Structure 1
Amino acid sequence: MTDLPARSIRTPLRPADSCSLLNAEPLAGTASTEKLWVALEHPGGWGKDVLDGSVFGDELSAALSEKMKDAGARFLLIRKPGREGQIATDTPRKVFIAQAELNLLYEMTVEKPEDLLELSLNQPEFIPGIIVKNNPLALVCAHSKRDRCCAIVGRPIAGELAAEHPGDAWECSHTGGHRFAPVSIMLPSGYTYGRLTADNARAAFGAMREGEAPALDGLRGRSMYAAPEQAAEIAVRELLAEGGEFPLVSHLNVSRETQTATGSFSANLGSQIDQSTQDATLTYSRVTHLDGRRWLVSTRVQKLPEVYASCGKAPKAGKSVEVLEVRPI
């Protein structure tokens, strides 16, 4: 991988009740589950929710919300880091459409947000004027009205990445998990990171740009999977990394193995699993390598006594995904 230039990021001071300082919650399995992402460039301020009417007005917000719901897409606002992104303009703006399952990213320009309503988001390859973008994007949450942690610690990292990779790193609206701020999502793969530092942000984005294996430091999961599969993939990647093996993004595939009411597996794996482990509270995921190797990963939901969901708020009960076993099959 090409070495990225070293830069110095001053660590911002955070209030003592910042949620991202208080959480010890495990990262694996905490990424938002989304297969289609739509990111619209929109400089200036954002409301607490980008489609609550405060940014686009009630009518357009409702229409955009319905459009995204119909397409099964997650909608984000993005802006250039720094002062440039804070100045509202009516100029044409970038749109990025990411298909996480296909690891494909598309780019185009629209004159106004209303233009999104006319686009075939599920079939971006047929949109006139759209192009495939070969370089991935790093979107770093800087949504201060959602949670101050993202703005305080996310913006400097977004700015540094954008200085090194102009046009490929952006501030973005809430992606989920601001309690892990700074947080970032890499598109189109959907690999999501938390508790970023300057170094592991560069490493994660550098790996994506060079087509290498996703960096493991700070990895929360890949958005195309649900929480158990996210944790299963990370567990297998960590296991392989111990032996010096680092599969590329496309080299691992994860699928859920379901149990029937009698406890047997719907896939052809039941005979290879000890009956003593067939617990209805467990979830089993099959991770398959491109070369044919397979692993069965058992996980369960673990209750957490305290999770600080947002800055300044009292903790509440939470949950995380616990990996119990990674078994070759």
Structure 2
Amino acid sequence: MSCPAGYAHDVSTCATAARELHEPLAATAATARTWLLVEQPGPWGAKALTSSHLDRAVGRRLETSADGTGTRVALVRRPGRHADVHRPDRHEVIVAHTVPGRAWVRRATVADPEQLTSLDLAALGRGDHGGFGREHRGDPLALVCTNGKRDRCCALLGRPLAAELAAMGGAEVWEITHIGGHRFAPTMLALPHGYAYGRLSAHAAKDVLLATREGRVVLERCRGRSAWDRPGQAAELVVRERTGEDRADTLAVEETAAEDGRWTVAVRHEDGRRWSVVVEQRAQEPPRPESCGKAPGRPGRMVVRSVAEGRSSP
């Protein structure tokens, strides 16, 4: 197969290949209804929960407990240079539920992350925080992926973005171990709504965070809302594109049905409008590295086949 003009198999990074191939960002966000973010300074390994200064047994228990609950666990640290402290006196903990209409962010400080192993992660995934910590009412939270041990693009492109955003002010900025999609670096998750973005400049990220503060979504460079699976992300974004709706919590994915390699997704507006969106997945050509150092592959792309608008029954 011939390559598109401008593409070379020996591009230096996965992010370069994805850019040159104009790989779409829509419907590529990591799926998580709830995020459990644990502050852990110092170096991170590729699988940070079990390869950092966090106690390995604690990391393994959190990772195992989260499986299948809708809660995703990640480590965070402040941007810039930081002391390589094995056992800090305190760990900031942020828990964010991202389902529209029920989104919340709560936070606490713990002396030992082992305390978190008693959390009911299934309940957190359902949106029940059980009184954990205190409500966050401050600036939007910007989580920029910077874990170079997982993929060098995240460090090369993510760390400068995190530092610049922190210097600008107007948001609480953290580096995070993994939010998926190395090849879209620099990537950022914006809380409280849980929309992920890719290929961000500092200016574009600032616009996203301003919109987040106002309860709005910026569609440019948007990868999707983490509360939904990938077909749901594709369906919600196409409805936003067609209607111009940018308020974050007005649209919800009600159900997703799969049949014969296609998904039919129901998207509902709070005003009663409803859309039925048919989505299918296609392998992308030509092959490209999904992560630096890996053999080229054909990542799936969500393609919207049809959109039909109706109205919910009273």
Shorter-chain TM-score range: 0.7 to 0.9
**2:142 — aligned with what?**
138
Q: Secondary structure in 1 aligned to 2:281?
A: strand
Paired with 1:183 and 1:92, the residues of 2 have a C-alpha distance of 27
Give, in angstroms, the shift of residue 87 of structure 1: 5.5
Which of these residues, 17, 22, 26, is aligned with residue 17 of structure 2?
22
Structure 2 segments unaligned to the other structure (5+ residues)? 1-9
The aligned counterpart of 1:45 is 43
CA distance in 2, matches of 1:106, 1:297: 33
Identity of aligned residues (%): 38
Q: Which runs of 5+ in 1 are unaligned?
A: 1-14, 261-279
1:288 aligns with 2:268: yes
Shift in Å, 1:16: 4.3
Verify the 8 A CA contact 2:142 2:171 in the aligned structure 1.
no
The structural deviation recorded for 1:291 is 1.1
- Counterpart secondary structure, 1:249: coil
> Which one-letter code corresponds to 2:46 in the other structure?
K
Question: Aligned pair in 2 of structure 1 residues 54, 93: CA closer, same or farther (>3 Å)?
Answer: closer
Match in the other structure for 2:223: 220
Offset at residue 281 of structure 1 (A): 3.2
| 1:91 has 2:89 as partner | yes
Please report the RMSD computed on the Cα atoms of aligned residues, expressed in angstroms.
2.2
Distance 2:86 2:55 in 1: 15
Distance 1:316-1:69 versus aligned 2 partners, 3 A rule: closer
Equivalent residue for 2:63, pick from 44, 62, 65: 65
Q: Deviations over 1:120-153 (max 9, x none)?
A: 45243423xx111123311000001000100111
**Partner of residue 179, structure 1:** 183
**How far 1:36 sits from its partner (Å)?**
1.3
* Counterpart selection for 2:294 from 306, 313, 318: 313
**CA distance in 2 between partners of 1:146 and 1:184 (Å):** 16
Amino acid at match of 2:117: L
Match of 1:31 among 29, 32, 40: 29
Deviation of residue 95 (structure 1)?
A: 0.3
Instruction: Kindly provide the CA deviation profile for residues 209-261 of structure 1, in whole angstroms up to 9, marking residues without a partner as x.
Output: 122x21011111111111111011111111122xxxx331110111235378x
CA-CA distance at 1:314 after TM superposition: 2.9
Contact 2:144 2:158 in 1 (8 A): yes
* Equivalent of residue 191 in structure 1, options 189, 192, 195: 195
Contact 1:17–1:312 (CA<8 Å) still a contact in 2? no
Alignment correspondent of 1:5:
none
**Counterpart amino acid of 2:119?**
L
- Once the two structures are superposed, residues 15-61 of structure 1 have per-residue CA deviations (whole angstroms, 9 ceiling, x without a partner) of 94110110132211111111111001111101110123453344223
TM-score (norm 2): 0.85
* TM-score (norm: length of structure 1): 0.81
SS of structure 2 residue aligned to 1:48: coil
Q: Any idea what SS the aligned residue of 1:317 has? A: coil
CA contact (8 A) 1:147 1:310 kept: yes
Q: Provide the residue aligned with 1:209 in structure 2.
A: 213
Cα offset, 1:167, TM superposition: 6.8
Q: Which amino acid aligns with 1:250?
A: D
Runs of at least 4 residues of structure 1 off by over 6 A? none
| Greater radius of gyration (CA) | 1
Q: Residues 118 and 235 of structure 1: is their aligned pair in 2 closer, same or farther, counting only changes over 3 Å? A: same
What's the CA shift for 1:282? 2.5
